[in-house]
């Protein structure tokens, strides 16, 4: 049986993860982040994670835990790719506005642009790490005992 502090910590991590996913999902919907296929990626991943958490709450099945972990790796990859795509869009825009920009000046302008925020997709990396932290040495993965919940 897990130490009570570990149970509280695990539940807290899950609560922060859920707040982040639901909040980010709502924000992306509100700003219309659904114009093309790459913009749907975080929305799909958020839905997948929430669906897997529902399955885990109902069954606690080991394959669902493993699928959740794989989804968290996809969260991190999507966050890195999203930051790159946001940066590239900003870079292209800055070069249209001022073709003489280069080097550090171009980098700074691209990173400081407000739309799209270059580092905003990094929240996907953070959420992926939180999800992995929640599953770290989870009792359901450590043993085959289905009576352990936290």
Kindly report, residue by residue over 81-134, the tens digit of the pLDDT. 999 999 999 999 999 999 999 999 999 999 998 888 989 999 999 999 999 999
Asked if residue 111 belongs to a domain, the reply is: yes
> What pLDDT is attached to residue 147?
46
Cα separation, 10 vs 24, in Å, equals 21
* Maximum pairwise Cα distance, the chain: 65
CB of 14 closer than 8 Å to CB of 134: yes
Asked if residue 146 belongs to a domain, the reply is: no
CB of 76 closer than 8 Å to CB of 135: no
Asked if residue 147 belongs to a domain, the reply is: no
> What pLDDT is attached to residue 75?
98
The parent domain of residue 64 ranges over 4-138
Asked if residue 29 belongs to a domain, the reply is: yes
> What pLDDT is attached to residue 141?
81
Torsion region of 11: left, alpha or beta (phi above 0 gives left; psi -120 to 50 gives alpha): alpha
Asked if residue 149 belongs to a domain, the reply is: no
Cα separation, 14 vs 12, in Å, equals 5
**What are the tens digits of pLDDT across the range 132-149?**
999 998 888 876 544 444
- Mapped onto helix, strand or coil, the DSSP state of residue 59 is helix
Asked if residue 54 belongs to a domain, the reply is: yes
Asked if residue 35 belongs to a domain, the reply is: yes
Domain count, the chain: 1
């Amino acid at each position: 049986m897990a130490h009570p502090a570990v149970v509280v910590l695990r539940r807290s991590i899950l609560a922060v993860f859920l707040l982040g996913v639901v909040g980010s999902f709502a924000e992306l919907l509100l700003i219309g982040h659904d114009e093309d296929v790459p913009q749907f990626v975080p929305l799909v991943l958020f839905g997948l994670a929430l669906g897997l958490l529902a399955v885990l709450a109902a069954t606690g099945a080991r394959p669902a835990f493993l699928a959740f972990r794989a989804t968290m790796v996809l969260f991190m990859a999507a966050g890195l790719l999203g930051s790159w795509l946001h940066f590239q869009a900003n870079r292209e825009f800055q070069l249209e506005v001022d073709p003489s920009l280069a080097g550090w000046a171009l980098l700074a302008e691209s990173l400081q642009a407000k739309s799209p925020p270059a580092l905003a997709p990094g929240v996907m990396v953070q959420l992926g790490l939180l999800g992995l932290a929640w599953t770290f040495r989870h009792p359901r993965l450590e043993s085959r005992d289905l009576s352990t919940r936290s």
